[in-house]
Amino acid sequence: MSNHFLLRDALAEFPPYVPGKPPASAPGLKPYKLSSNENHLAPLPGVTDAIADAGRVPANYPDPKSTKLVTAIAAHLDVDEAEVVPGAGASEILSALTNITLEAGTSVVYPWPSFEMYPILASARGAEKRPVPLLEDGRHDFQGLVAAIDDTTRLILLCSPNNPTGPSVSTSELDGFMAEVPAEVIVVLDEAYFEFATAAEVVDGMDAYRKFPNLVLARTFSKAHGLAGLRVGYGVADPRIASALRQVIAPFSVTSAAQVAAEESLSRNDEVLVRAKEVAATRDQLEQDLRDAGLTVSDSQGNYVWVSFGAEDAQAFEAACAEQAVAIRRLSGGVRISIGADEALERVREVAKSFAESRTA
């Protein structure tokens, strides 16, 4: 029997997505996972009840069009229902966008480091990847992004706030950039963390969407709404783009439980935003504390902070946190620490102090 299978050559070009590590155990310490940007707060009242009700008849397929959820999102954003595309998290929206634009002979432009799925999805479509290094402060290099565009470019991915470094795109930055992008090239604004942003200059995705027909928004209920385990997100796009997205998204990808939970959470959006700003306040305090400890920290607008490290120090800092039963995310150029319970963050602060002291001793 042959042990050779006819798989695509492109699979050798990229590693699989690696999720955040679970926390290691340590004697006498409660473990905490700060490696996946999950929302650590308890579910909003009514959301768990909606999930339970939706699961009473698991034999039936979910509504393939997510009709009630789409209606709710469209009303909330004041757009036509034809402009809203639901999916299994923002990741499915991003996957669908690469599916309708990219193939061999085309290129995709994106900042780097950014969301790890960008190069994976591009390679899976056989497209040329054009990552543009971030500026030193973790922001997008828009001049570099413009320079990377040519007549093969079919898709541009922007991330605001940028995961993992944290800064958001400003209104002036996006306006200037869109003026340089050919009108037929689709630009995606990945706004998975937009509810946590507090800086005055942060671009409003919906305002930008109304100005630029080639701009698509990718949003999720995973982060601020705390529904990561249900996998539900959505795209907002020109109806022609939205129609193409629906062609390639798997049928029934948004489960019944996910649909009703997202609808219920959206109905409580004011509460979601209050909680998101509470997380943001904790984030800002952690940033300042880590800076005071002597670490280099970006200006984050997400539910996480980014500490710049060389490879050796990043590995050592991750290991020191693991010894305290706290899992953080080590990536190229530093570590990302999700906002979590006070006890977990206090342990991170103590690790930071000890770490900085050991480096100056």
Does residue 2 have a pLDDT over 80?
no
**238-294 pLDDT, tens per residue?**
999 999 999 999 999 999 999 999 999 999 999 999 999 999 999 999 999 999 999
The predicted model scores a pTM of 0.95
Q: Please give the pLDDT value at position 1.
A: 55
Which CATH number among 3.40.190.10, 3.40.640.10, 1.10.10.10, 3.40.50.1000 corresponds to the domain 47-267?
3.40.640.10
The predicted model gives 75-84 an average pLDDT of: 98
Q: Please give the pLDDT value at position 9.
A: 81
Q: How confident is the model at residue 5 (pLDDT cuts 50, 70, 90)?
A: confident
The predicted model gives 339-346 an average pLDDT of: 98
Does residue 347 have a pLDDT over 80?
yes
Does residue 8 have a pLDDT over 90?
no
The predicted model gives 319-344 an average pLDDT of: 97
Which amino acid does the sequence have at 179?
Answer: A
According to CATH, the topology of domain 19-43+270-360 is Aspartate Aminotransferase, domain 1 (3.90.1150)
Q: Where are the domains of the chain?
A: 19-43+270-360, 47-267
Q: Please give the pLDDT value at position 360.
A: 67
